[in-house]
């Protein structure tokens, strides 16, 4: 998610409506992205009007727009699939033209999304957002909508994505916040290394979880089932581990080797917290230089655990949490990253 605020007053005659996407909005959306980001936004779909129309038609994206009476698109927010579980949608890609940022465009879009659009889309069972941490505007907006902060992705977005706005000097972290639309009670196994931290995160969720300690070891001969997605512009690799086997270390190393050829500097691994042997999986990743990221509710339908690894310097001092809960989470993550840095320094 990204939006900057502008304090300049608007003329009183400015008026707009918020609405569902129409195919005729596609070119206006493309112009909006070009105006705000130039050619630097990493999701290239938004520079192709026909691709925007197709994505809205098949349900992989839902565009919600702010439209002037002339038809000009001055702002937008989106719901889209970005997690393994197809009923979990991300709320993001929010932007407003600079000259309209004091008109309440973003707030009205957020109200429309939650009070009008989501009640009409019962197939969306959970919603999450990735709020950038170089400012607190988006974080506060998400909290006002009842979301719960559960994870921080360190150094996720490259500064190039914010070049035109000049709002970030280095790579930007994001805070993941979740909102339950349809309850999904489940049994979650907590790895020993992060048991207290995970219990604290789970205490803030509105959905029901039964928490249990993970068991030691993993079934001999069990094969890892994982898939990797690489985002070249962001230099990020995401590895979804649907099932962790005793070959997890070899599997992750092979993916890292492949990602290195594409200059990846940020690695994320998603582990499945429904697996009783997740303790062994976590220890394997910790030994390979990964550190804690947080909880990803409903990620596989079952909850996920985010582990991350950086080949670039993190800017922890540039992360600006908007709440005490997020600040405590950041402290845990920074401490675990320092553990990894210390190990690497002593090798």
Q: Which helix (H) or strand (E) holds 142?
A: helix 137-144
DSSP annotation of 200 reads H
pLDDT at 2: 42
When pLDDT is averaged across residues 292-307 and rounded to a whole number, the result is 98
Is 70 exceeded by the pLDDT of residue 118? yes
Residue that the structure tokens 């080949």 belong to: 311
Q: Tell me the DSSP string of 149-199.
A: EEEEEEEEE-GGGGTTTT--SS-EEEEEEEEESS---EEEEE-GGGHHHHH
Domain assignments of the chain as residue spans, ordered by start: 13-85+94-105, 125-313+334-347
- pLDDT at 346 exceeding the cut of 90: no
Q: What percent of the chain has pLDDT over 70?
A: 92
Exposed / middle / buried, residue 36 (Cβ in 10 Å: 0-12, 13-18, 19+): buried
Q: 95 CB contacts (<8 Å, ≥6 apart)?
A: 2, 3, 32, 33, 36, 37, 75, 76
Confidence of residue 324 (pLDDT cuts 50, 70, 90): very high
Average pLDDT over residues 36-57: 93
Residue-averaged pLDDT of the chain: 92
Which residues are CB-neighbours of 308 under 8 A, at least 6 positions away?
153, 154, 266, 267, 268, 269, 290, 291, 292, 293
- pLDDT tens-place string over residues 125-182: 999 999 999 989 889 989 999 999 999 999 998 866 555 554 456 799 999 999 999 9
Average pLDDT of the segment spanning 240-268:
97
Please tell me whether residue 234 adopts helix, strand or coil conformation: coil
| Cβ–Cβ under 8 Å, residues 164 and 34 | no
Integer CA distances (angstroms), 26 to 35, 51, 61, in order = 14, 9, 13
Task: Report pLDDT for 222.
Answer: 86
Give me the residues paired with residue 16 across strands. Answer: 68
Collapsing DSSP to helix, strand or coil, 344 comes out as: helix
Average pLDDT over residues 60-77: 97
Give the strand pairing for 236-243 and 266-272. parallel
Task: Write out pLDDT tens, residues 189-202.
Answer: 999 999 999 999 99
Considering only residues 283 and 157, tell me which one the structure prediction assigns the higher pLDDT.
283
φ/ψ of residue 226, rounded to 5: -145, 155
Burial group, residue 189, by CB count within 10 angstroms (0-12, 13-18, 19+): buried
**CATH number attached to the domain at 13-85+94-105:** 3.40.630.30
User: At 5, is the pLDDT very low, low, confident or very high (cuts 50, 70, 90)?
Assistant: very low
- What is the predicted pLDDT for the residue at 341? 85
Backbone angles phi, psi at 196, to 5 degrees: -65, -40
Residues 238-262 have a mean pLDDT of 97
Could you give the percent of the chain with pLDDT greater than 90?
A: 83
- The answer on pLDDT for 184 being more than 80 is yes
The helix (run of H) or strand (run of E) holding residue 315 is none
Per-residue model confidence (pLDDT) at position 265: 97
Tell me the average pLDDT across 278-307: 97
- Looking at residue 162, what is its pLDDT? 54
Q: Answer whether 18's CB lies under 8 Å from 65's CB.
A: yes
């Amino acid at each position: 998610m990204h939006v900057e605020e502008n304090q300049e007053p608007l003329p009183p005659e400015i008026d707009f409506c918020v609405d569902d996407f129409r195919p005729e909005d596609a070119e206006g959306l493309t112009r909006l992205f070009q105006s705000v980001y130039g050619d630097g936004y990493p999701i290239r779909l938004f520079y192709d009007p026909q691709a925007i129309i197709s994505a809205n038609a098949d349900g992989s994206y839902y565009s919600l727009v702010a439209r002037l009476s002339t038809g000009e698109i001055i702002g937008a927010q989106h719901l889209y699939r970005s997690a393994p579980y197809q009923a979990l949608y991300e709320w993001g890609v929010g932007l407003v033209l600079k000259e309209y940022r004091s008109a309440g465009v973003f707030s009205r879009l957020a109200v429309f999304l939650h009070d009008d659009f989501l009640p009409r889309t019962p197939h969306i069972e959970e919603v999450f957002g990735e709020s950038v941490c170089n400012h607190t505007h988006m974080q506060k907006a998400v909290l006002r909508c009842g979301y719960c902060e559960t994870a921080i992705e360190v150094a996720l977005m490259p500064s190039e994505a914010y070049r035109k706005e000049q709002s970030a000097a280095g790579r930007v972290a994001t805070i993941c916040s979740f909102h339950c639309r349809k309850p999904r009670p489940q049994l979650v196994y907590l790895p020993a290394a992060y048991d207290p931290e995970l219990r604290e995160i789970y205490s803030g969720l509105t959905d029901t979880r039964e928490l249990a300690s993970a068991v030691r070891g993993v079934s001999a001969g069990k094969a890892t089932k994982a898939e990797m997605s690489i985002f070249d512009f962001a230099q990020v690799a995401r590895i979804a581990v649907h099932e962790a086997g005793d070959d997890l270390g070899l599997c992750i190393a092979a993916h890292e080797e492949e990602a290195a050829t594409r200059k990846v500097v940020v690695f994320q691994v998603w582990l499945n917290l429904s697996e009783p042997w997740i303790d062994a999986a976590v220890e394997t990743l910790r030994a390979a230089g990964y550190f804690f990221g947080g909880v990803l509710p409903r990620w596989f339908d079952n909850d996920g655990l985010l582990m991350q690894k950086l080949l670039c310097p993190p800017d922890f001092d540039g992360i600006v949490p908007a709440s005490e809960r997020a600040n405590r989470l950041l402290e845990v993550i920074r401490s675990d990253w320092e553990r990894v840095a210390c190990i690497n320094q002593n090798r």
